[in-house]
Structure formats: C-alpha cells, structure tokens
C-alpha cells in the first residue's frame, strides 16, 4: 500500500523534479501531477515527461490530490498555498520542502486555515537548479526533517514520514524553531560564508580573477560549489531565518576573531589545538554515511 | 632524457609520497631515495616500497642526489635544509613544495648559501596525510608554481619545470610575494574559515554535535573536508604567511559584515546580486578543469 496515490508537486526545480523522479521509481502506480509558475519550466517538464500531467494553473494541479508538496522558494510558499486554497480537496495533506520551518508553517496555516499541513525539509541538494538537474536518488541516505505542530494529526505525520522513507530518506521529527537553529549552522551559515569568500576573492585588485580560478585547487574551489546555488532560494532563506542566521554568524565572527588574534600573536598551540579537534567531526560525518569516505570528496583524479 | 636521474624526497607525507609514486610512473629509470624524520613513517615507506632506498639520516639521503625536494611542513624547512647542508652535492638542485614561498626561500638560502635553490609549490592535495595517502595522479592537471629569485639560474628553473611537467602538472612562475598573496586567498583563508566554522559548530550548546553531523549534507560537510587537513602543516602556514592571511581575513570580515547588515535590514536585492555574481567563478573553475563538472563534486549518489 502506498501512503499517497495522487501526488501533486508545485515548483519543478531541483528538489521538486527529484521528488517526481523518485516517485516514479519508488511509487510507480501513484498518479503524478506537476505545476510551476514559470511557463518555460512547465514546457521543459512536459518535454522530459517528468509527471503524468503538467497543469497550466496551480489550482488545476491539486483538484484530486491526496498529497500536495510545495517546492518553491521559501519566500513564495505563502503565495503558492494561497493559489491552491480554493481547489484543495478537504482530505489532502499539504507539505513542503523549505529550509525555514517556523515561518513556512505560519504562512501555510494562514493561507490554508482548514488544511492538514505537515511541514518537511529533506536535507539534500546539489549546486544545480531547474527541472533537468533533479535525479531520483537525491534523497537516498539523507535526512528528511518533519516539523509538525501540536495541531498536526499523528496519522498525517505518519503518512508523510512513510512517503519519505519510500524515497530512500531517513526521517526525523523536531520542533520548527529547533529545526531553524540546526539548519542555521549546518546549512545557512555555510552558504553565507561560501558566498562571502567567493565575493571577496573576486573583488581583489592585486590578485586577478583568473589567478583565483587557476589556483582554486588549494581549497577555494570547495567553497565555490555551494556559492553556485540558486540565488532566489538563498536570498529567501537568509531573509526568512534571519534571527537564527545572525546569531550563528555572530558566534562564527567571534571565533574567527579569536583565530585572527592567535595568528597575529603567533600562538601556534591555539591553532594546533583547534585544527586537531576539527578532524573528529569530519570522521563522524564520513562514519555516518553523510559524506564520501574517499579523499577529496571522491573527485576523480584521472 | 630525464631532467633528473637521482631524486631525493625528504618528508614522506601526502605530497612527498605522491611525488615518489609519480616519479616511479613517469620517470621509472630515476633512482629514488627517501627520508623522513619520523622512524614510523620511514618504516611504512620501506614496507610499501615507496622508494628505491630509505635512509636513516637526512644527510645520507642526499649524498649523490641531483634533485632534493623538501616536503616537510613550512616551519620545518629551514631545519631540514640545515640537516643536509654538509652532504649536499655542489651541483644538486634543491626544491620544496611549501605553501609560503617568501619565508621558505629565505630559510633555504640561509641554510644552504651555496646551493642552487628553485622554490616550488604544487597546488594540489587532499585532506588525508601520511605516506599511505599519496597517489601518483595527484598533480595531474594541477598547477605547480615556481618562485625563482634573481639569483636562480634559468637553466635550473627550466629543469625543475620539466620535472613537474613530467608529473602531469602545469607550471607557472611568479614572484614569491605575489605567490603568497594569491595563495592567501585561494588556499590559506579557505582553510582558516573552514577550521573556524567547524569549531563554531562543535561548540554550540543548543545544537548537539550529533545533529551537526546528521544534517551536514545541507552544506556544512563541504567545509569539513579541508578542516580535516594536517594540523602541523596548517599551523605553520598561518604563522608563516601571517601578513597576507591577516589582510585577506580583514577583507573577508568586512564583506561578511556587509552581508550581515543586508540580512538584518532585509536588503534582498544586495543578497541576490552577490549570489548571482558568485556563480560565474564556479563556472570558470569547472571550465578550466580545476574542479569536477559533475554536480556535488561528483559525489556518488548510489
């Protein structure tokens, strides 16, 4: 038995199109409907046969759905929910994939006061965007975090959990505000720092952009991957999870200042102590299968 | 004709052992001698047959060398050079692989006033350390930067360049102080920031270390790779290239503060503008073969 049999995906970018592909693989009998606000994206989705049906309006896409997943940028969630409000079946469950759960839960509850809402966040992605960037195994071995509120029925949470398990993900549940703090440090701050250093490097006068590119294998290139992520998505994340991001950023800046001071005053022991401690975290990530065990992320060294 | 026929490598870690393996592949007739200050490393090198000969002293390793490459941490270069001074043949060329060229050039010239010195820096590596971590293709398609001074003969530079070309690297020449500024932004600052954010994440109270590890696929894991690099090597780099690192760090901090302000005041346009600009650099790096074109660094998504 499938947890859902008529699934609608609104927003057919990297995540939405990966869900579509994974549903096709793991729930081949489910009917799959897609919608995207951008007609060009709808045309591509049609051409690559991403769903059984691509509709021309958001409302039409949900008419007989039992699960609707909103895969639009965080700042567009409320408007997307409002667009489907009139056509949403009473027994449908609405979920999403956004990276800021407290604000999204509030926006969805506002737009769909009578709907059953199970906010979700699959912690997975690549630096690529658009309907053609998705792939069916994106969620394999990754965590999907559900952030139900006191109003969410346990049965609805259970069905959404089952959906993600079928796509190959592991499922965890936590409070929306805790999610937002966890993701501020594990995802939002890393992106912010990566965007910053790539910006800093491209603004130098005495080191040319061509030199930055040429010698990027010394470490810089690791940062450029996530700094190539979708600009709209990330603008929305920072504006929406503002408080948690600013707090993590403040802690990071303090730690960076301490390190700066250690370098200025030649305190090698302090540097060595930190540089030793940080190895353990990497080890944990590899041991728990959250990153490639092969050196250099498994990049091919031909 | 080989540029060198009797090659000595002092320091048999990731880089030294990769050079040894690459020499075996690309210059199989060259005689290869190795030395490491750590007897355990020498024993491993012996066991895995890394070189034709592993000597028990640095002096013995250079007796009939025509090329000696110092592959020790930046802070140990001067002492390693002093150890071989008495035994170094008059016509041997001494080179190194360190990441801070101005200080190393001075230390080598001090310890070996009559030697022919061609400082070099292959911009390549992984997060792993030790003689068993090396591999022959590490330098394929990577840049090796030579930083000869006015005193270095053009013929010696030419031979060292030929050596690196044979290992599959591309070769570039630049002034030592310019090298140190280029590497401060493309390698040293990225490592410093990676070490910092991993430290920040592991010191939080309300987010556990286990949560940081679990949800690291949201971006954080990209930083943990270079934060797992060798602590001694990196302590030395920061203490040695202090001025350039502090200057780049200052610029980064200013840019980060500007972004912090944009988030606090909700200036989405500023964020969007930066996030769009940073994509171009990534594109350049991939186009020039300095990183994997596959999404997610080509990590396997099973």
Question: A277 at the B interface (CB within 8 A)?
Answer: yes
pLDDT number for residue A149: 86
pLDDT number for residue B248: 97
**Average pLDDT taken over every residue of chain A:** 96
- Which positions in chain A touch B297 (Cβ < 8 Å)? 225, 297-299
**Residue A302 clears pLDDT 80, i.e. is over it:** no
pLDDT in tens, A251-264: 999 999 999 999 99
Q: What ranges make up the beta strands (E) of B163-285?
A: 170-173
Phi, psi of B176 (to 5 degrees): -55, -45
ipTM of the complex: 0.94
Q: Do A202 and B278 touch (CB under 8 A)?
A: yes
- Which positions in chain B touch A210 (Cβ < 8 Å)? 284
- Contact residues, A window 167-226, toward B, CB-based 8 Å cutoff: 172, 178, 181-183, 185-204, 206-207, 209-226
Q: Which of B172, B227, B170, B164 has its CA nearest to residue B198? A: B227
pLDDT in tens, A278-298: 999 999 999 999 998 999 998
CA distances from B194 to A10, A197, B33, B156, B163 (A): 36, 11, 36, 37, 33
DSSP H or E stretch at residue A90: none
**Residue A204 clears pLDDT 80, i.e. is over it:** yes
CA angle B256, A178, B273 (to 5 degrees): 30
CB atoms within 10 A of CB A293: 9
- Contact residues, A window 128-157, toward B, CB-based 8 Å cutoff: 128, 133, 135, 137-138, 140-143, 145
Q: What ranges make up the beta strands (E) of A71-175?
A: 93-96, 116-118, 120-122, 143-146, 170-173
**Average pLDDT taken over every residue of chain B:** 96
pLDDT in tens, B70-118: 999 999 999 999 999 999 999 999 999 999 999 999 999 999 999 999 9
Q: Do B213 and A281 touch (CB under 8 A)?
A: yes
Indicate yes or no: pTM above 0.90: yes
pLDDT number for residue A1: 85
Please give the residue of chain A at the shortest CA–CA distance from B226.
A219
pLDDT number for residue B247: 97
**Residue A277 clears pLDDT 90, i.e. is over it:** yes
Tokens of B175: 């002034």
pLDDT number for residue B151: 83
- Per residue in B104-116, is it b (16+ CB within 10 Å) or e — as a string? bbebbbebbeebb
**Residue B302 clears pLDDT 80, i.e. is over it:** no
* CA–CA gap between residue B193 and residue A222 (Å, rounded): 12
pLDDT in tens, A49-71: 999 999 999 999 999 999 999 99
Which residues have a Cβ under 8 Å from the Cβ of B161 and sit 6 or more positions away?
B146, B171, B173
pLDDT in tens, B169-227: 999 999 999 999 999 999 999 999 999 999 999 999 899 999 999 999 999 999 999 99
Domains of chain A: 6-174 (3.40.50.720), 178-289 (1.10.3660.10)
Question: What is the torsional sign of CA B81, B82, B85, B86?
Answer: negative
**Residue A151 clears pLDDT 90, i.e. is over it:** no
Confidence of residue B301 (pLDDT cuts 50, 70, 90): confident
Q: Do B297 and A302 touch (CB under 8 A)?
A: no
């Amino acid at each position: 038995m499938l947890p859902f049999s008529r699934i609608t995906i609104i927003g057919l970018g990297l995540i939405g199109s990966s869900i579509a592909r994974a549903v096709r693989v793991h729930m081949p009998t489910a009917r799959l409907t897609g919608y995207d606000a951008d007609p060009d994206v709808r045309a591509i989705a049609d051409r690559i046969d991403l769903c059984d049906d691509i509709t021309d309006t958001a409302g039409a896409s949900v008419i007989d759905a039992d699960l609707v997943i909103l895969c639009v940028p965080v700042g567009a969630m409320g408007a997307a929910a409002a667009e489907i409000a009139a056509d949403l079946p009473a027994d449908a469950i609405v979920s999403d994939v956004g990276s800021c759960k407290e604000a999204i839960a509030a926006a969805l509850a506002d737009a769909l006061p009578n709907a059953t809402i199970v906010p979700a966040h699959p912690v997975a992605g690549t630096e690529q965007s658009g309907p053609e960037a998705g792939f069916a195994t994106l969620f394999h071995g990754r965590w999907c975090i559900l952030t139900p509120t006191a109003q969410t029925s346990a049965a609805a949470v259970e069905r959404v959990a089952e959906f993600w398990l079928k796509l190959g993900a592991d499922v965890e549940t936590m409070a929306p505000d805790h999610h937002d703090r966890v993701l501020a440090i594990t995802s939002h701050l890393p992106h912010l720092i990566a965007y910053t250093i790539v910006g800093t490097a491209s603004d130098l006068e005495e080191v040319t952009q061509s030199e930055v590119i040429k010698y990027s294998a010394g470490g810089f290139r690791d940062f450029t991957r996530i700094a190539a992520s979708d600009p709209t998505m990330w603008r929305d994340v920072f504006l929406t999870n503002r408080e948690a991001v600013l707090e993590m950023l403040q802690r990071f800046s303090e730690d960076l200042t301490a390190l700066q001071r250690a370098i200025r005053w030649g305190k090698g022991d302090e540097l060595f102590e930190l540089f030793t401690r940080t190895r353990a975290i990497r080890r944990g990530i590899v041991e728990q299968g959250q990153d490639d065990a092969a050196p250099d992320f498994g990049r091919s060294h031909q």
